[in-house]
Structure 1
Amino acid sequence: MHKLKPITPLGSDTPRVDTIGNLTVSEVTDRALASVAARKDQEPALREALAEAYKMELPEVGGSSQASTLSAFWTGPDQWMVSGPYDQHELLARDLKQVAVATASVVEQTDGWCRFDIAGAALGDLFERLSNAPVRDMKPGCVIRGTLEHLGVFLWRLDEDRMAVLGPRSSAASLHHALITAARSIA
């Protein structure tokens, strides 16, 4: 019998946390993810179904929203990423499919992405070395799809001094290296 054991995107048993100067880079592994794409002419019905089931409002372009333990951010026209604590929403995609029925296509995304949360007063200094996204101007709740180094990512401003970066899980080590190298350059 196989004795499989889950590992983080960086290949460890536990999420990695690095503190460099006044910045902390944390690997986030406790979130379930599902993409939701409204089917043709079904966006109003999808919004209504999610509002009824979860009290969730789907955000507009460049935004995010929170409803109880779930959060959502805009990823493209009529498309969103929905996230929730893994221990409460292990079957998030299945649950969203049951609510959305024929109004949307829902796809499990949890193991396709890695997430790093960066906290500290020097967020602007860090991200101006990594991306041309206007991080200093982003308000909490704003989301930008762009690049960080050479990787396609989502930059999600969680708070004034906190940012989430979501990128492809297969590039987790490269993304982490870029974040740590830039943090060291300003420490």
Structure 2
Amino acid sequence: MARLIEKTPCEALLPVTCGALTLRELVGDRVTSVAPLRGQKTKLAAALKKLGLAWPEPNRVIAKDRASITWTGRDQAFLIGADPDTLAGLAALTDQTDGWARIRLEGPGAADVLARLVPLDLRAFAPGQAARSQLGHMMMILISPAPGIFDIMVFRSMAATAVHELHHAMKALAARAAV
């Protein structure tokens, strides 16, 4: 019988550094899709409050300690780094942990790197914001947890492509700065 070897989505691809910019993988946090069941939004809000969170408005993320909840679409959010068991019966819960690659781009010029690949005005993208958009030709979820830091989520199957595109943009920006 074949023995499977557990690997992260960006295994052997990250971290990479170009100048003061770093691209690294975020691993270890549970990711759960949360979709409120009909008539349960008030009870779901109370359960999230016990976690120190609330249901996020569109294009927002709410974080408390190592847990966060990120808007990902109409009546859908991703709960990251928290146990979703207290939400059972209040929302449709789907474990997404192994389906996504989570990558962090940080350092001065991080927004300039993403500006080469993302069709958003990143100068106006403040901490606490989230967006479902494109990274090149890939769908992604972009989160700004702090100034100069961007968390990028892409489908696991697109991890190598995302790393390649981001690293290429990092190198291009570093080369331009060296001129």
The TM-score with structure 1 as length reference comes to 0.87
Give the 4+ runs in structure 1 shifted more than 2 A. 1-5
Match of 1:179, SS? helix
Say which of 162, 170, 173 aligns to 2:149.
Answer: 162
CA distance in structure 1 between the partners assigned to 2:8 and 2:75 by the alignment: 30
Match of 1:101 in 2: 88
RMSD between aligned residues: 1.6
Alignment length (residue pairs): 174
Pick closer, same or farther for the CA change 1:55–1:172 going to 2, 3 Å: same
- CA deviations on 1:12-53 (whole Å, 9 max, x unpaired) are 4xx72100122100011222100100012321221112223x
Structure 1 partner of 2:67? 70
Q: Which runs of no fewer than 5 residues in structure 2 stay unpaired?
A: 175-179
Which residue in 2 is equivalent to 1:184?
171
Amino acid at match of 2:161: S
Does 2:106 match 1:119? yes
Query: What is residue 5 of structure 2 aligned with on the other side?
Result: 5
State the match for 1:146 in structure 2.
133
Partner of 2:28: 30
Q: Percent identity?
A: 29
Provide the C-alpha distance between the structure 1 equivalents of 2:74 and 2:149, rounded to a whole number of angstroms.
Answer: 26
Counterpart amino acid of 1:149?
G
SS in 1 for 2:79: strand
Taking the TM superposition and a 5 Å limit, the aligned residue runs for 1:82-101 are 82-84=79-81, 92=83, 96=84, 98-101=85-88
8 A Cα contact 1:43 1:78, kept in partner: no
Q: Which runs of 5+ in 1 are unaligned?
A: none
Moved more, 67-76 or 160-169: 67-76
- Compute the displacement of 1:55 (Å): 2.6
**Does the 8 Å contact 1:42/1:103 carry over to 2?**
yes
Structure 2 counterpart of 1:61, from 58, 63, 83 = 58
Query: d(CA) in 2 for partners of 1:125 and 1:50?
Result: 35
For residues 25 and 80 of structure 1, the distance between their equivalents in structure 2, rounded to whole angstroms, comes to 25
Distance 1:3 1:26, change over 3 A: same
Structure 1 position 102, deviation (Å) = 2.2
CA distance in 2, matches of 1:36, 1:150: 26
Is contact 2:126–2:144 with CA below 8 Å preserved after alignment?
yes
Q: Is the 8 A contact 2:111 2:148 kept in 1?
A: no
